[in-house]
Amino acid sequence: EAIEKGGYDHFMLKEIYEQPKSIRDTLRGRLLPEQGLIKMGGVFEYREKIVNAERIIIIGCGTSWHAGLVAEYLFEDLARIPVEVEYASEFRYRNPVITEKDVVIAISQSGETADTLAAIKLAKEKGATIFGICNVVGSSIARETHAGAYTHAGPEIGVASTKAFTAQVAVLALMALRIAHDRGVLKQSYYHQLLTELDSIPEKIEKMLESDAQARHISELYKDAQNFLYLGRGFNFPVALEGALKLKEISYIHAEGYPAAEMKHGPIALIDENMPVVVIAPKSGQYEKIVSNIQEVKARNGKVIAVVSNGDSEIARMADHVIEIEETAEVFSPLLTTIPLQLLSYHIAVMRGCNVDQPRNLAKSVTVE
């Protein structure tokens, strides 16, 4: 096992560090920025269906559902197709309205999650076209769907998903860009700029991994907290959910992810000097809004750990700690902002003496309903 961990203390840490490679593997042969092309043979067998879709329904569970939420922002913003993201377990039991015109994208690392599989079967019976995004080749979900794309993240052993999540987001970004291009809804120059930008993400993730020492330092300070709040807006709202889930899963600290603007409708009541608040706040269209969210937390003596754009001195003056991310397009920022949150949850869990790779009560693949 020590050999399998490749010198890392845990599989989870190894998998976090593998992300530059797993994203490169996932993009390889698909993203061709010099030619201005995205090639996804498996998905575009059903090109007409997905390019002309009037809506897309995305289903998944756990972390895969969070990747679906990122995709909602990607598909709506870039490809201008309305998207609904559903927990597979809720979707399947509520007599959903599905027709032959619908396109469903099922996301699953293992390809074996029982609820996701059952939701696929239901949508298929109603005539929808189903695309799968799986990591495990030949898995049940990969076999049950009409078409799809594999993430090439390699085997993920740690129960808490890390590299599979970013690989899912990378595949979804490719799909959104290609569909946007085929629909003719993106300015050519912007499309080319995004292809080049996506190509540079693995390198930027490498840089993000250098925030490890900082994440460790912050973990020392907050490892004994009983609660954590994670806030984000827009593309980084799902990242807040995912950050909170990671912490819950492996450190057993209660953590909630929230859209930052919703803080005033509830979570703000919880903020005092004992509440660490992780705010994902890279420069974006909603930057000023999130700055005022940080002020609201500080006004109540909450502790702010902010994930910000490189060189952001405004938030640095207000927050207790900042972790900087490399400059990138807003649409791809989740691929970078996720990394320090993974590291933070990892270090906190290790410091609390938790079994990082096999947290209590959780399973890597949930094949029961």
Nearest to ligand G6P of 71, 275 (CB atom) = 71
Nearest to ligand G6P of 159, 271 (CB atom) = 159
Looking at 193, 227, 274, 365, which residue binds ligand G6P (CB under 6 A)? 365
Map residues 143-182 to x or -, x wherever contact with ligand G6P holds by CB under 6 A.
----------------xxx---------------------
Contact between 113 and ligand G6P per CB under 6 A: yes
- Residue 48 CB, shortest distance to ligand G6P, in Å, is 28
The rounded distance, in Å, linking the Cα atoms of 327 and 363 is: 36
Nearest to ligand G6P of 109, 129 (CB atom) = 109
- Residue 345 CB, shortest distance to ligand G6P, in Å, is 12
Contact between 64 and ligand G6P per CB under 6 A: yes
Nearest to ligand G6P of 161, 236 (CB atom) = 161
Contact between 129 and ligand G6P per CB under 6 A: no
Map residues 281-320 to x or -, x wherever contact with ligand G6P holds by CB under 6 A.
----------------------------------------
**Contact of 309 with 282, CB cutoff 8 Å:** yes
364 is catalytic: yes
Residue nearest to ligand G6P (CB): 62
Q: Which residues are catalytic?
A: 364
Query: Which parts of this chain interact with ligand G6P (CB under 6 A)?
Result: 61-64, 108-110, 113, 116, 159-161, 362, 364-366
